[in-house]
């Protein structure tokens, strides 16, 4: 008996059911009729990295240590800026592929998010979303990378979303790129399923999340072009089903659902209106833009990991002083405090503080007020369940008690 987990980021019945009814997805229809389906609750917070890692480990974020897309280096000297780093791997707990490997089962783990660096398994692992660069060793065993590119020469771990920005036909480019990436992943998956021994295969596709963030209304209205991806995914599902025997099991799972939003509550705007944030000087903003442009060029050249290493080393030796690149600063009376940038789905940035004191308490009070407003806003305008839990999460992140969760990670 073998098992396949087909993970699809952001897949929702809101889209699947109408497409099945329209006759677009014969293989999803077959699975739906012959199997069973249910809406499951995502994890807390319902963001892609913690939700996938919980799916892979069966653990809460407090146990596997992934709460977010970012992690922050441990607190250094008072007043020092905390440097965010991409969260590429879990901090604790065993994933299902570790356990199965220990039992001698052959596993294939393909593009599951937050799995960089790839782990030694009894089989093959290809790291997924959050892998810093395809120039790195993102497969286990490392030599499998050569075979991967031989079988699928243009294999992509994820989309380069920056390449579409500011282009007139960005949406068409996004759809085409998502289709190409998915065709290649299906090709790799079929190669592995046919050519390698396996008891367990766990493969993740990310297309719905990438497309629905930009094209929700078009996909929701079942526009033919915007929903092309789902027909391709259905074909991929059909190919996987052909490989399965009567004793084999298939799970189709997602990390969270999806729905549209019509309004955005911008916490920066609120803090600005309260006099708690001030825009940086024009020079400061210009410098931030220039630094972002340079970074993009370096990334395109595939030199970002090397450039970061060099920058860290120069900073460490005191040879390089890098000024803050934030376009916002805390207002003067809070200038002694530290800032944490927070990038989320809806809120662009949240400022928090890490030192105690009278003014800190005042700022926290304002932040709590903004959260209450945000919660009211969510209740009235947006999806209460998802957004309220996110607001609650951010509320916790403003309190010192939130750090307790992190200490639970072993």
Site of interaction with Zn ion (CB under 5 A): 9-10, 48, 209, 255
Q: Which long-range contacts (CB under 8 A, 24 or more apart) does 113-118 make?
A: 113/9, 113/48, 113/49, 113/52, 113/53, 113/204, 113/206, 113/255, 114/49, 114/52, 114/53, 114/66, 114/87, 114/88, 114/89, 114/90, 115/56, 115/89, 116/88, 116/89, 117/88, 117/89
Nearer to Zn ion, 49 or 123 (CB): 49
In the complex, minimum distance from the CB of residue 10 to Zn ion, in angstroms, rounded to a whole number: 5
In the complex, minimum distance from the CB of residue 46 to Zn ion, in angstroms, rounded to a whole number: 9
Nearer to Zn ion, 152 or 253 (CB): 253
Nearer to Zn ion, 174 or 271 (CB): 174
Cα torsion 312, 318, 321, 325: sign: positive
- Distance in angstroms (rounded) separating the CA atoms of residues 267 and 366: 11
CA 317 distance to own-chain centroid = 33
Contact, 380 vs 306, CB < 8 A? no
In the complex, minimum distance from the CB of residue 246 to Zn ion, in angstroms, rounded to a whole number: 32
Nearer to Zn ion, 192 or 386 (CB): 386
In the complex, minimum distance from the CB of residue 204 to Zn ion, in angstroms, rounded to a whole number: 10
- Distance in angstroms (rounded) separating the CA atoms of residues 392 and 398: 10
Q: Which residue is nearest to Zn ion (CB)?
A: 48
In the complex, minimum distance from the CB of residue 181 to Zn ion, in angstroms, rounded to a whole number: 16
Nearer to Zn ion, 148 or 347 (CB): 347
| Per-residue CA distances from 160 to 11, 134, 141, 254, 291 (Å) | 21, 11, 25, 22, 19
Nearer to Zn ion, 24 or 209 (CB): 209
Rounded to 5 degrees, φ, ψ at 110 are -120, 110
Cβ neighbours of residue 168 closer than 8 Å, sequence gap 6 or more:
none
In the complex, minimum distance from the CB of residue 346 to Zn ion, in angstroms, rounded to a whole number: 14
Nearer to Zn ion, 118 or 208 (CB): 208
In the complex, minimum distance from the CB of residue 50 to Zn ion, in angstroms, rounded to a whole number: 10
């Amino acid at each position: 008996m073998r098992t396949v987990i087909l993970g699809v980021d952001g897949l929702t019945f809101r889209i699947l059911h109408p497409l099945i009814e329209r006759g677009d997805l014969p293989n999803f229809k077959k699975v739906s009729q012959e199997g069973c389906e249910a809406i499951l609750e995502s994890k807390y917070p319902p963001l892609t990295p913690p939700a996938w890692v919980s799916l892979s480990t069966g653990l809460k974020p407090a146990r596997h240590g992934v709460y977010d897309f970012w992690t922050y280096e441990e607190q250094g000297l008072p007043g020092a800026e905390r440097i965010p780093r991409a969260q590429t791997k879990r901090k604790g707990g065993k994933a299902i592929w570790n356990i199965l490997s220990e039992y001698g089962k052959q596993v294939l783990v393909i593009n599951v998010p937050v799995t960089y660096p790839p782990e030694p398994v009894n089989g093959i692992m290809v790291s997924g979303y959050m892998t810093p660069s395809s120039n790195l060793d993102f497969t286990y065993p490392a030599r499998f990378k050569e075979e991967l590119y031989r079988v699928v020469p243009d294999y992509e771990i994820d989309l380069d979303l920056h390449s579409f920005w500011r282009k007139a036909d960005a949406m068409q480019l996004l759809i085409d790129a998502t289709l190409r990436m998915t065709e290649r992943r299906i090709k790799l998956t079929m190669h592995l399923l046919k050519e390698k021994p396996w008891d367990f295969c766990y493969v993740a596709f990310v297309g719905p999340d990438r497309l629905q963030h930009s094209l929700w209304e078009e996909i929701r209205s079942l526009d033919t072009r915007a929903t092309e991806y789902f027909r391709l995914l259905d074909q991929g599902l059909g190919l996987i089903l052909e490989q399965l025997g009567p004793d084999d099991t298939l799970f189709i799972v997602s990390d969270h659902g999806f729905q549209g939003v019509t309004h955005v509550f911008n916490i920066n705007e609120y803090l600005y209106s309260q006099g708690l944030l001030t825009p940086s000087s024009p020079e400061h903003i210009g410098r931030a833009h220039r630094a972002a442009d340079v970074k993009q060029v370096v990334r395109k050249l595939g030199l970002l990991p090397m450039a970061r290493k060099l920058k860290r080393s120069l900073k460490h030796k005191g040879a390089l002083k890098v000024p803050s690149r934030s376009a916002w600063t805390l207002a003067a009376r809070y200038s002694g405090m530290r800032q944490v940038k927070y990038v989320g789905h809806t809120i662009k940035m949240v400022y928090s503080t890490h030192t105690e004191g009278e003014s800190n308490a005042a700022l926290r009070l304002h932040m709590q007020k903004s959260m209450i407003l945000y919660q009211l806003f969510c209740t009235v305008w947006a999806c209460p369940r998802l957004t309220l839990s996110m607001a609650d999460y951010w509320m916790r992140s403003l309190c010192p008690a939130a750090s307790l969760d992190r200490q639970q990670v072993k």
